[in-house]
Amino acid sequence: MTNVVDKRKNKFNRYKDLRENPGELLSPAIKPVKEYDALDRIADIADEGTFTPFQFDFPETNPLDFEGYVEKKEELRKECGSHDAIIAGECKIDGWPCVMAVMNKKFMMASMGMELGEIFCRACEYAGEKHLPFIVFTASGGARMQEGILSLMQMAKTSAVVKRFKDEGGLYITVLTHPTTGGVSASFATLGDITLAEPKALIGFAGPRVIEQTIGQKLPEGFQRAEFLQEHGFVDEIVRRENMKEELGKLLRLHSNIYLRR
Amino acid sequence: MSAIEKVLIARDKDRPKINDYIDALFTDFFEQKGDFLGKEDGSIYGGIALFHGRPVTVLGHRKGRTVEENMACNFGMPGPEGYRKALRIMKQAEKFRRPIITFVDTPGAYPGLEAEMYGQAQAIAANLAEMSALKVPVISIVTGEGSSGGALGIAVANKVFMLENAIYSVLSPEGFASILWHDSTRRDEAAQVMKLTAQDLYEFGVIDGIISEKADLMSAIDRKLKSALKELDMLSADELAVNRYEKFRYFDEARLNASSAKEMEVV
């Protein structure tokens, strides 16, 4: 157990190198990933050297005994360098301490199963205990089908935890990135005190294909995109990636009175 | 009975519908319509009623038997306004300290253009969050199809029961087969794999009990509601909220071995 934790600890302590050299996280058989991922995100947002990830050690879960599920997760853990499709930790943004969680769609489309839900909840509870703001970058295809009803229940679990955090005065900021859909959009992603989104991110409950099949017509251009959501009143501000850190820093500064509780 | 047989029974149009349950179990029903934000959604039916003389708020998904009825209630698939109506009347129940009883029977929240436009995801999320903290007893009964977030959106309850032949799942078996195997015709197999029957969910610890459909169904529900209310009446308003919170926060604790891993290690 400690070995696994230590290994990951080392991985993250060498975090800066990893950012420059993402191939190190990957097994040799897997090609380096070019897409902007959770690690890139953390490197761009957290002040240099401040991100300390939370470590978890869960027993292997496969409630439906779904064929290939455990193997798939094992493979992805190596590839993504995280236990599940979310990395959470404490960091500073423009000098302001906070808890940040970043979802990683490379890991089974960042679908929400028990472990993802639990990591989200513990990160949120930690933020509550320490009176720190909680910032979440969402991206998800929805509930993790391979965990059946237990994945659906994560929606209630995460919503309850984040509601308690907010009721106790916690600042909860969500950044909706492409795509944020299904069970994640219908739970913690849309419960932010402040809701940001990246340009053109697909955000919605049902997937566009399902809607087209249901209504029997093509969807209009830009449907379910961040701009569309903002037009309909569900997004505070759309922020480009290169401005994200600055904007989050500003939001923390605007809420600086919450740090007086610490 | 195989899982797919249960799915078909749960979807049977001749199964009792919400108005049948309300007629049989409650008196003096007063329907409350509208989300008071600009819309009425017929797929959620609810209001105030008496349960053995005690005021309660009762609500649930509405399905019809005929095409006309189903058009009026959108086949039991609510839009955001349906969830907002449900929340409105649940918050009112909390104000007047009425227990809340919900009946769950839906193929899912409606995947439509307007539903997305007006915030389907946000409406369901709001219900999950707000229901978790209600300071009155909440009891939910899955009577037919409990499918996806559309079902859970009115089912964050202190006690969740299922009828013997009801199903409760993350998605329809057709959807599950389509997403995981890219083949919706493998529905029967999906139903088996998904573990969506009342018996499966009881074993998962997700529901609190199964209501037998063998004898008089309405009497069985009546007895279950009475005993659940009696039990929940022992709790104070704050304890009711804590009880529900902990139920949903820790239902999977044993699987995650959270007792030993509760202390988070910050490195």
* HEC readout, B180-234: HHCCHHHHHHHHHHHCCEHHHHHHHCCCCEEECCCCCHHHHHHHHHHHHHHHHCC
The residues in A 53-82 lying below 8 A from B, measured between CB atoms, are 53-59, 61, 63-64, 66
Nearest CA in chain A to B201: A149
Alpha carbons B177 and B188: distance in angstroms, whole number: 9
At residue A34, the pLDDT reads 52
How do residues B72-91 score in pLDDT, each as one tens digit?
999 999 999 999 999 999 99
What are the residue ranges spanned by the domains of chain A?
Answer: 2-261
- In single-letter form, the type of residue at position B208 comes to D
Residues 6 or more apart whose CB falls under 8 angstroms from that of B246 comprise none
Residues 6 or more apart whose CB falls under 8 angstroms from that of A250 comprise none
Domains of chain B are: 3-248 (3.90.226.10)
Strands B54-61 and B44-51: antiparallel
DSSP string, A172-219: EEEEEEEEEEHHHHTTGGG--SEEEE-TT-BEESS-HHHHHHHHTSPP
Q: Are A92 and A48 in contact (CB under 8 A)?
A: no
At residue B264, the pLDDT reads 52
Nearest CA in chain A to B77: A214
Q: Across the A/B interface, how many CB contacts are shorter than 8 Å?
A: 192
A2-261 under CATH 2.30.30.30, yes or no = no
Instruction: Report helix, strand or coil for A100.
Output: strand
Residue A127 in contact with partner chain B when CB distance is under 8 A: no
Give the residue-averaged pLDDT of B7-14: 96
pLDDT band (50, 70, 90) for residue B24: very high
The residues in A 207-246 lying below 8 A from B, measured between CB atoms, are 207, 210-211, 214-215, 219, 223-224, 228, 232-234
At residue B240, the pLDDT reads 98
Residue by residue, pLDDT tens for chain A (262 residues) are 333 333 333 334 333 444 444 433 333 333 344 578 899 999 999 999 999 999 888 999 999 999 999 999 999 999 888 899 999 999 999 999 999 999 999 999 999 999 999 999 999 999 999 999 999 999 999 999 999 999 999 999 999 999 999 999 999 999 999 999 999 999 999 999 999 999 999 999 999 999 999 999 999 999 999 999 999 999 999 999 999 999 999 999 999 999 987 7
Q: At what angle do helices B3-11 and B173-181 cross, to 10 degrees?
A: 130
How do residues B244-255 score in pLDDT, each as one tens digit?
999 999 999 999
Residue A11 in contact with partner chain B when CB distance is under 8 A: no
- Contact list, A215 vs chain B (CB under 8 Å): 112-113
Among the listed residues A57, A230, A142, A186, the one whose alpha carbon sits nearest the alpha carbon of residue B78? A186
Alpha carbons B132 and B153: distance in angstroms, whole number: 11
- In single-letter form, the type of residue at position B218 comes to M
How do residues B206-236 score in pLDDT, each as one tens digit?
999 999 999 999 999 999 999 999 999 999 9
- Proportion of chain A in helix, strand, coil states, percent, rounded to 5: 50, 20, 35
Tokens found for residue A202: 């697909």
Lowest mean pLDDT among A12-26, B29-43, B138-152, B250-264: A12-26
Contact A57 B121 (CB under 8 A): no
Question: Residue for token digits 């659940």?
Answer: B228
How much of chain B exceeds pLDDT 90, in percent? 95
User: What number of other Cβ atoms are within 10 A of residue A207's Cβ?
Assistant: 18
Residue B237 in contact with partner chain A when CB distance is under 8 A: no
Alpha carbons B225 and B179: distance in angstroms, whole number: 37
Interface test with B, best of A152, A154, A174, A219 (most B CBs within 10 A): A152
Tokens found for residue B86: 């449900």
At residue B259, the pLDDT reads 46
Strands B27-31 and B54-61: unpaired
Distance (Å) from the C-alpha of residue B78 to the closest C-alpha of chain A?
13
Nearest CA in chain A to B245: A160
Interface test with A, best of B140, B176, B252 (most A CBs within 10 A): B252
How do residues A62-98 score in pLDDT, each as one tens digit?
999 999 999 999 999 998 888 999 999 999 999 999 9
Cα–Cα distance list, A51 to A12, A13, A46, B139, B239 (Å):
9, 9, 6, 43, 37
End-to-end CA distance of chain A: 33
Residues 6 or more apart whose CB falls under 8 angstroms from that of B32 comprise B46, B47, B48, B85, B88, B89, B92
Interface test with B, best of A155, A205, A211 (most B CBs within 10 A): A205
Provide the mean pLDDT of chain B: 95
Residue A66: which of B132, B153, B193 has the nearest Cβ?
Answer: B193
Among the listed residues B134, B41, B47, B108, the one whose alpha carbon sits nearest the alpha carbon of residue B80? B41
Alpha carbons B141 and B198: distance in angstroms, whole number: 11
Burial class of A177 by CB neighbour count within 10 A (0 to 12, 13 to 18, 19+): buried
Q: Are A43 and A91 in contact (CB under 8 A)?
A: no
Q: Which residues pair with A196 in a beta bridge?
A: A175, A237
Q: Are B211 and B221 in contact (CB under 8 A)?
A: yes
- Contact list, A9 vs chain B (CB under 8 Å): 267
User: What number of other Cβ atoms are within 10 A of residue B79's Cβ?
Assistant: 25
Contact A150 B252 (CB under 8 A): yes
- Contact list, B115 vs chain A (CB under 8 Å): 205-206
Provide the mean pLDDT of chain A: 88
* B93, B95, B97, B98 alpha-carbon torsion, rounded to 10°: -10
At residue B23, the pLDDT reads 98
Distance (Å) from the C-alpha of residue B264 to the closest C-alpha of chain A?
7
Residue B256: which of A115, A146, A164 has the nearest Cβ?
Answer: A115
Contact A160 B245 (CB under 8 A): yes
